[in-house]
Structure 1
């Protein structure tokens, strides 16, 4: 048995709600959280990690990220959703070769780990060929991150080919017992690709026992209503699903989603930046829908959870007539941790310090001018912390960042390859 004891940190747990436990220890055994409390006795031969003067908390869960876009960061600031669809998906995406997908996905996954994101839902609308798919999965595995691989077939309009290739991916990579990477169907329909494709995707997801993650509710009130009605009419609304960009759903819509076991991923920074609509972070959570946060697209927004939490917090609290003032820093932190795990179907695996869960943990420095003398550790994490404060990252008990340095990867070499890919992809 391998053991690791994080000693004397200021510990924040998130179940059932974010709570500062005070100075305590966290014991990890065989990759899982074994105990949390003060003055724990370390097992023989346990590694001791001194967390004094640090904040220890569950790793962040990014519930919606197009990780392949790392090589086209900040290509579309100050823009709109139609411009994003044209420039990023219409022009830049087809220029990505499989090697580019591997490089960008690996760099993006390491960016997540570097900033304390230990789980990512990778929404992959870059799957133009089996080689693109294989490259993306290989990169996620190489990074060490916990991931949901959201497979979005990109080979054209042949629905038989969609079914065959999705089944190949499921069989080749995800038929074994669950590992750190699981598979979901990333569906384009019904609001983006139409109803025929939607029927094929959702029925295939049901046949292959894959949950669905879908862009739905963010394309205007009319489309939101029609899309949800379509799922109801075709008996699909009861299938496990994550609704991304649920901006235009009503309170009644959220009640239907909650009643059918659905979840919501809000990406407040990008939703605001691209004019998609008012983020549904608070409304969906208040309606009883498990709600998580996502960074979405680094083409137009931040790639770290600190920036996303702040966007969610300030946008909620800025609602007219004080309607969002109930949304506290604790609510933002929960959405970034346990709420995200619930949204991604991983509440039994990660998102809190509950003994028995996987040891997906982060340790934040507080000995900087930006974090020193913080009286409320939860508020400090949400309002003050940055990537540079992430000292240590564990996924499944493995130390993937130590002393502020990612472990096991030649980051300078990777960045060189990424820069070369970025120059070629964006060349006019």
Structure 2
């Protein structure tokens, strides 16, 4: 059982139901759960006290879509097109990954998240070359100490897909895990065809798993046809996240929202690969929870500060001022409470509401790029960087303190990552 902990004298920012600066305040944590937020709180006997004077205190960030295994091929193709990405990364590099490379990538990638204040991650894992690759990916997430949803994607035929997904569900997620849960990462009708999609969504329904799939990112006609297929077969009764939902109309966004679905945008990656400009404002206006994802460090940054800035810029830069209603508050909410909604974790993570998990980040404000900021939320979105992340808690456990990750020997982790990088780059 975790001990009591009190974070004192920070400038506290909550994000649910909407981002708000609570002012100088304290956060009391009991057994990994946020117990109370307010000024002048008293520490329980024996509680650890973290002095947050001069710090911003806010919920940990939520990354709703990341191919974490690709950490060993960071910046492999920084200016690549989507077709080039498929050829270079999935066609050439991915087949070279050994199970130990997947472990090295997932561990280093998850630690990269924690180092940057990302406490919850959707790991969209499509590197299931063998069962040993899968086992290594899950083991690395567990070893990292991050909170994660493991999005399992198997590229085999429907029979193999069903067999292996059941194995993973039964063997690797057979007990209640406070940090790690599972989703089915579907290839979907736009990538793998309708027959395959039927098998994926029906399997998810059978196993009680949510679905996360690349949907709507491959042109207007493909988006409309794929959505109509899912609707006509009643597949959206399974909670589904539409990743790269770039080409839907407002009316289609409303239909997705009505089904209980959500969307995830990777604004840097989507623009860099030439997929399109993420319509975050339109999706949210239709009632859809919208989260942010780094997607791949092959050609995009791995921190949510960069993603918040990008989505804020793209929305506010829309023609004729159409996006000027989008604010830094909206960007922060997408990276926290709204991202939690996308992953089905609303009320558990993404905010500082009492009763939720104590996934908390402290940001320094004594660096030149953060000092004398008048609007704390604006400072988080427009000025902060991973270098400002001083302290990180996951479930009340301190995993980063005084700017240093605590749970792993980074020298060893990064040496393994470099070894894997040399092995898979070719």
Unaligned runs of 5+ in 1: none
- Separation in 1, partners of 2:230, 2:204: 13
Q: Deviation per CA, 1:314-371: give whole Å up to 9, x if none.
A: 0111110111111100000000000100001000210000000000000000001000
Match in the other structure for 1:289: 288
Match in the other structure for 1:89: 90
Match in the other structure for 1:61: 62
Say which is worse superposed, 234-243 or 332-341, in terms of deviation: 234-243
Task: Please tell me the root mean square deviation across aligned C-alpha atoms, in Å.
Answer: 0.8
Q: Report deviation, 1:179.
A: 2.3
- Separation in 2, partners of 1:21, 1:138: 38
- Separation in 1, partners of 2:134, 2:91: 19
Pairing 1:266–2:248 present: no
- Separation in 1, partners of 2:174, 2:419: 36
Q: Report deviation, 1:175.
A: 3.0
Unaligned runs of 5+ in 2: none
- Separation in 2, partners of 1:103, 1:152: 19
Q: Report deviation, 1:417.
A: 1.2
Say which is worse superposed, 169-178 or 139-148, in terms of deviation: 169-178
Equivalent runs, 1:235-254 vs 2, <5 Å = 235-254=234-253
SS of equivalent to 1:355: coil
TM-score (norm 1): 0.98
- Separation in 2, partners of 1:175, 1:98: 22
Q: Report deviation, 1:174.
A: 1.8
Equivalent runs, 1:113-262 vs 2, <5 Å = 113-154=114-155, 156=156, 158-262=157-261
Whether the aligned pair in 1 keeps the contact of 2:347 and 2:353 (CA below 8 Å) is no
Q: Report deviation, 1:177.
A: 2.5
Pairing 1:305–2:304 present: yes
Q: Report deviation, 1:178.
A: 4.3
Whether the aligned pair in 2 keeps the contact of 1:228 and 1:237 (CA below 8 Å) is no
Q: Report deviation, 1:2.
A: 1.1
SS of equivalent to 1:153: coil
- Separation in 2, partners of 1:179, 1:404: 25
- Separation in 2, partners of 1:385, 1:269: 17
SS of equivalent to 2:204: helix
Q: Report deviation, 1:408.
A: 1.6
